[in-house]
Amino acid sequence: MDHNPYQSPSSPAGSSKTRPIRWLVWSGVICLALAALCFLATFVGMIVTFDTVGRFSNALTPQQLARGISIAMVPALAVVPLGAFGILLLVLGLVFRRPVAKQGK
């Protein structure tokens, strides 16, 4: 019996059913990686700001400290949207993917 009754006649036997959805998973992974880089940039910016406070504690004003912290927190604005969008894409890609049917003879 060469005909598979569970396979639709319109799709060829060797075609992959996961290819159209794979971009969702990779886009989600890329968004999460960018969110991690933004978080790392925020962390490094805060370290640099407080290092400056430690070196110049006598002459540093609260305005200068606030300026350094506000500049360090700019990448943190991108973490939440990138992370949420990345998780959404990753979940959608994993939920809507279809397993590849292996055709063995």
Q: pLDDT tens digits, residue range 30-78?
A: 999 999 999 999 999 999 988 888 887 677 778 888 888 899 899 999 8
What range defines the domain where residue 62 resides?
19-95
How far, in Å, are 23, 43, 72, 83 from residue 34 at the CA level?
Answer: 16, 14, 16, 8
Q: Is residue 1 part of a domain?
A: no
Write down the pLDDT at residue 99.
64
* Within-domain flag for 3: no
Answer whether residue 44 is part of any domain: yes
Can you tell me the distance from the alpha carbon of 11 to that of 4, in angstroms, rounded to the nearest whole number? 12
In a domain, 103, yes or no: no
In a domain, 6, yes or no: no
Residue 9 lies in a domain: no
pTM of the model: 0.68
Angle between helices 19-55 and 76-95 (to 10 degrees): 160
**CB within 8 Å of 79: residues ≥ 6 apart:** 35, 38, 39, 42
Closest listed residue to residue 17, CA positions, set 94, 103, 101: 101
Predicted confidence at residue 7, as pLDDT, reads 64
Q: What pLDDT, on the 0 to 100 scale, is given for residue 50?
A: 86
pLDDT band at 8; cut points 50, 70, 90: low
Res 85 pLDDT > 80:
yes
Q: What's the structural domain count of the chain?
A: 1
DSSP 39: H
Residue 12 within a domain: no
Tell whether 46 is covered by a domain. yes
